[in-house]
Amino acid sequence: MMNKSSLPILGQEEGGILGCSECSHVCHYRCCDQSRPEDPDFGPENSILLYPGEWEGVREDIRSHLLITMEDYNGGKLAYCDRENFDQSSCHPERNFKPLDCMSYPFAPAIRDGELCLLIDSKRCPLPEEQLQSHAIMIRRKWEEAIAENPAVADWIGQLSLEDYKLSIF
C-alpha cells in the first residue's frame, strides 16, 4: 500500500490536489484502487473511465499499466490500474498515461440541462468540497477541451451513470 511519503507531488495541471496526502489516512488513496470485473462493486463508479478515443490516442508502451475491463462502455472503455505490476507512487503524466478521469478525481463530468457540470465522489473522498475549488475549475476546463476536440465525448458524458456521485457546488 502507498503511503503519503511515497507519492510524488503533482501540480494542479497533473491532477494533484492540495491536502490529498494529508487525508490519506482516512481514505487510504481509494482513488487509486479500482474494482475488477469479479468484484461485487465493479462498475463505472469504481473504474477508470476512458472517454471515446482517449485510449486509442495514447502509445501502448505508456498505457501498459492500465488493464481494460470493459471494451465498450457507451463508446469509451473501463479500466483499472494494475497495482501488482505498476508502482503507483511513480504515477505522473510525464512518465505514463494518466487518463483524464484519474486527473479529475474526485470529480466526474456530467451533462445537466445541456450543460457540462461536475459531480463529486464525496462518499470515498474525505476532502471538503470547498477545498477543491481550484481543482474543479481546472478539471472543468480539461473536460471542455476534450469535448471541443471530440464532440462524441459530450454524448458519452451524457450516458454516464454514477449513482453515488452527487452534483458539485462548482
How confident is the model over 2-30, as pLDDT tens digits? 333 333 344 444 455 766 767 666 766 67
| pLDDT given at position 16 | 59
Is 125 domain-assigned? yes
pTM of the entire predicted model:
0.84
All three cell numbers of 28, joined, read: 487510504
Domain count, the chain: 1
* Closest to 20 measured CA to CA, from 12, 29, 100: 29
Range of the domain at 48: 17-167
Is 84 domain-assigned? yes
Is 152 domain-assigned? yes
Is 134 domain-assigned? yes
pLDDT tens, residue by residue, 103-115: 999 999 999 999 9
For 167, phi then psi, to 5°, come to -65, 130
4-8, 19-23, 41-45, 136-140, range with greatest mean pLDDT: 136-140
Is 162 domain-assigned? yes
| pLDDT given at position 53 | 96
